[in-house]
Amino acid sequence: MEYLMTYGWALLVIVIVIAVLIYINPFRAPEQCVFDQAGFLCNKPILFASGALHGTLVNGNQKAITIMGIACIKGRASPDGDITVTGLTAWPSYTKANRTLGYQEQLDDIGNFANDLGANTTTKCVDVTKNANGVAQFPASATIALSPNDDFSGRLYVAYKFSSDPAGTVAKVVGANLVTKAQ
């Protein structure tokens, strides 16, 4: 009887620990949005099952920037060539933004915000294919469809230029690794 009591408690503790580990799932990738270069922060990424992306984007550069466009893609594809100021034609899935952010100013919702002219814009994540060279080919509209609690791993790209850049300057592009769970 003493044998069952001693090892019974040990088994009960093991079952409780396993249940807690299953509940909190520490082996799942943490939800994050981390940019490849200093100067940008992304907080609280939320991706809805419809593909709509929400979260906060902060300008940590020492000067004001104008966000030209935002793209969210599934997977780790990379952009092909320069993104020009004249329409971001290389990436039709870009959300054209035209939103100016001062130093330390934040864009409260990447997924739904007003540009500098007051027009609302929305950002959705898309699924892309790759050509023979491994370069992403962006369809005009290929919004991903997720189920709630699906894991999402992809890239967030922001095309921007400094507000002090001369007219006609090619936009710079910064990317971020985006890991989240669909809501």
pLDDT in tens, 159-181: 888 888 888 777 788 888 888 88
Mean pLDDT score of the chain: 76
Cα distances from 177 to residues 59, 75, 125, 160, 181, in angstroms, run 17, 9, 13, 17, 14
The confidence score (pLDDT) of residue 87 equals 42
Residue 85 pLDDT greater than 60, yes or no: no
In single-letter form, the type of residue at position 52 comes to A
Residue 103 contacts residue 63 (beta carbons within 8 Å): yes
Residue 171, SS3? Answer: strand
- The fraction of the chain above a pLDDT of 70, given in percent, is 76
- The fraction of the chain above a pLDDT of 90, given in percent, is 2
Out of 15-29, 90-104, 142-156, pick the least confident: 90-104
Return the CA Rg of the chain.
21
The confidence score (pLDDT) of residue 44 equals 80
For residues 120 and 83, the model is more confident at: 120
Concatenate the DSSP letters of all residues of 69-92 into one string.
Answer: EEEEEESS----S-B-TTT-TT-T
